[in-house]
Copies of this chain bind each other. A is one copy, B any other.
């Protein structure tokens, strides 16, 4: 085995076994070069690879530490309960508060845009149809957590606060129901992948952190798709849970 691989695997074993816990300081470069009789570049290569896998992080002059894992936000089906948003509470704020976390969101863009394919297919409209988009970044405990872009058919948002920065009490769901759309079902599609460079920057992701791509489609009682939220979520800050009846 190449020497750098040996160093990498030894350190990995110490971390995965828990012998080096969260925020533990790893042996210094000087220690590693002496113990394994290698050049500094060789030891650095081992550390860089562990960083890419999300196991360690550099603390500048202090050296390298085991990366602490934030406590994840749990995304449950219950966050969508009508009793929350119909009572004027924001879904994001209410769910995270129930987990002892403080969340906020920041609008990145409000605009009419051409529906991309992912959205058009789910809204049941031709690609390129003009739709309304709300792009926002959500933060939990002041770390960026989610890039959430919600797309709406134009006719549903005309004259509503969904076109405003502040959608008002209960948010978009409450405004859609006020306009006469009785909301009924949600479909969530999830997949995990590594972020693009842009997503890694926008979410301030440490190296070696995957994202969850979540596409949420909301349907009204007639079966019409009234909103598609296309969301990129920091993988190390999130878990998802779905409880359902076994279908017939």
Which residues of chain B are near A208, meaning CB under 8 Å?
A: 52, 194
Interface of chain A, main secondary structure? mixed
Q: Is the CB of B189 within 8 A of A9?
A: no
Q: Which residue of B9, B83, B190, B197 is within 8 Å of A241 (Cβ)?
A: B190
CB proximity of A21 to chain B, nearest CB, Å: 16
* Residue A2, interface by CB 8 Å: no
Which residues of chain B are near A55, meaning CB under 8 Å?
A: 194
Copies of this chain held together in the complex? 2
> In the assembly, what is the distance between CA of A206 and CA of B236, in Å?
20
- With A194-B53, A197-B9, A210-B210: A247-B81 Cβ-Cβ less than 8 Å: yes
Q: A52-B208, A77-B247, A81-B248 are in contact. List 17 more A-B contacts (CB 8 A).
A: A9-B197, A16-B196, A78-B247, A82-B248, A184-B246, A185-B243, A185-B245, A185-B246, A187-B243, A188-B243, A189-B239, A191-B235, A191-B238, A191-B240, A192-B211, A194-B208, A242-B242
A–B Cβ pairs within 8 angstroms, 30 of them: A9-B197, A12-B197, A16-B196, A16-B197, A53-B194, A54-B194, A72-B191, A82-B246, A183-B246, A185-B243, A185-B244, A185-B245, A186-B243, A186-B244, A187-B241, A188-B241, A188-B242, A190-B239, A190-B240, A190-B241, A191-B239, A191-B240, A192-B211, A193-B210, A193-B236, A194-B208, A210-B235, A242-B242, A242-B244, A244-B244
